[in-house]
Amino acid sequence: MENIVNLCKRRGFIWQGSEIYGGMSGTWDYGPLGTALKRNIMQAWWQYWVEDREDMYGIDAAIIMNPRTWVASGHTATFSDPLVECKFCHNRFRADKLGNFGANVTTEELVTAKVKCPVCGKIDWSEVKQFNMMFETKVGATGNDVAYLRPETAQGIFTNYRNVVDTMYPDLPFGLCQQGKAFRNEISPRDFVFRSREFEQMEIEYFINPKTWEADFEKLLNDCHEFLEQIIGLPKDLIHELDVTEEDRAHYSRRTIDIEFDYPIGREELMGIAYRTDFDLSNIQRESGKNMEYTIKGTTEKFIPHVIEPSFGVERLLMAVLTSAYTEDEIAGEKRTLLKLPEHLAPFRSCVSPLLKNKPELVAKAQEVYQTLRQKYHNVTWDDSGNIGKRYRKQDEIGTPKCIVIDFDTIEDNTVTIRDRDTTKQIRTPISDL
């Protein structure tokens, strides 16, 4: 994990948030390469779940919502984690993560288990308290109206369910998809971008007839595996399903599958899929007084749809992609670091270089090829720094699949050398075939 974090900082993928001022815990800034990788992952998700399907619709709801949203959803009352403070050094921790405890862990359990403070080593704990993780803010000219930064994107989907039904007239089953920022005041952000206070989600609320929930659940679960394994390219043997037991499920869920991934930090949740029944729409109907029923077309049959929710965290998916891609090997006796990123996810599709940057005829021809490829593919980079070997190593490390080199033979026959990142093999091909 340390090697991945160092690579991300050194090559401009991910930096600590506000690093120049000493940083801010739980926040991360994305550099040029990290931004490109992140956007490619999000676009792959959008294309698979929205653009390539006829039963999905995209929306983009506001981050700051009417506070009644969070009353109806239960977040105001129950969206909390157990907080405990070491009385000796006054550091605060999420109590259930100090050992193998549940969300309702008590101080007595910590003391009985002889749990030591991770900072000072003392066993002197305060009373465990429930800490609401929503970020509170003030809105309006007077600054007296309390609102919250959304802790999830899902509620923006639920609150717009009626609008979509009335404007798009979709047939059941159908899904609403959203990508966007979410905010949680995590007690102890940790493990690079895995658990942070500001992050992005990609969520689907799939509205169904409750009579078919089991078949619909299995279909969506299979789709999640196809997306992770076939579209994103995560190794199948690193992906695992955890059928969450009733006592560990959210109160609204009748079934939840956590899809876990073998990260360098251990096996952790990558995403989840939950059968939320009609919990959310029924709460909205009660709180708003608006009818959330769906009428089956051509009939008088009405009911509040049930919901299946596949929920993806962008950062956790990006961290899984980096984990899978990070490779160390040896070329001609020298250690090499590379990212074996799929071509459609890599920040750059290819890199164009002149063999020598002090030969005007090579530079001019290389620029011609470079500009042509940029117009066609956009995500193409230029590199003429150092010798050609150093350029290869740099492009390998940032995951560029192909390096295209213009040499003296190019001037004679309009062919170029293409080097493959993973195998380091080189072939010559006409420029017209690029």
Cα angle 99-100-103, degrees, rounded to a multiple of 5: 95
Q: How far apart are CA 378 and CA 348, in angstroms?
A: 9
Confidence of residue 145 (pLDDT cuts 50, 70, 90): confident
**Cα maximum dimension of the chain:** 81
For 3, 256, 389, 411, 421, the CA distances from 416, given in Å and listed in that order, are 34, 53, 16, 9, 16
- According to DSSP, residue 21 is labeled G
Task: Specify the amino acid at residue 81.
Answer: D
What three-state secondary structure class fits 157? helix
pLDDT score of 94:
86
What three-state secondary structure class fits 289? coil
Q: How far apart are CA 96 and CA 129, in angstroms?
A: 11
Q: Name the average pLDDT for the chain.
A: 93
Domains and CATH numbers, the chain: 2-65+150-323 (3.30.930.10), 348-433 (3.40.50.800)
pLDDT score of 369:
96
Contact residues for 71 (Cβ-Cβ < 8 A; gap 6+): 77, 287
Q: How far apart are CA 153 and CA 138, in angstroms?
A: 20
In this predicted structure, the answer to whether residue 322 has a pLDDT above a threshold of 90 is yes
Task: Specify the amino acid at residue 243.
Answer: D
Confidence of residue 189 (pLDDT cuts 50, 70, 90): confident
Q: Among 318, 317, 327, which Cα is nearest to 397's? A: 327
Q: Read off the pLDDT of each residue in 314-342 and give the average, rounded to a whole number.
A: 94
Q: How far apart are CA 276 and CA 280, in angstroms?
A: 8
β-partners of residue 94 are 83
pLDDT score of 41:
98
State pLDDT tens for residues 197-254.
Answer: 999 999 999 999 999 999 999 999 999 999 999 999 999 999 999 999 888 888 888 8
Long-range contacts formed by 323-330: CB under 8 A, 24+ apart: 323/4, 323/238, 323/261, 323/263, 323/264, 324/233, 324/234, 324/235, 324/238, 325/399, 326/3, 326/4, 326/7, 328/3
pLDDT score of 203:
97
In this predicted structure, the answer to whether residue 331 has a pLDDT above a threshold of 90 is no
pLDDT score of 292:
96
- pTM (2 d.p.): 0.90
Q: How far apart are CA 420 and CA 104, in angstroms?
A: 53
Query: What is the CA 115 to chain-centroid distance, rounded?
Result: 33
In this predicted structure, the answer to whether residue 96 has a pLDDT above a threshold of 90 is no
State pLDDT tens for residues 19-77.
Answer: 999 999 999 999 999 999 999 999 999 999 999 999 999 999 999 999 899 988 888 87
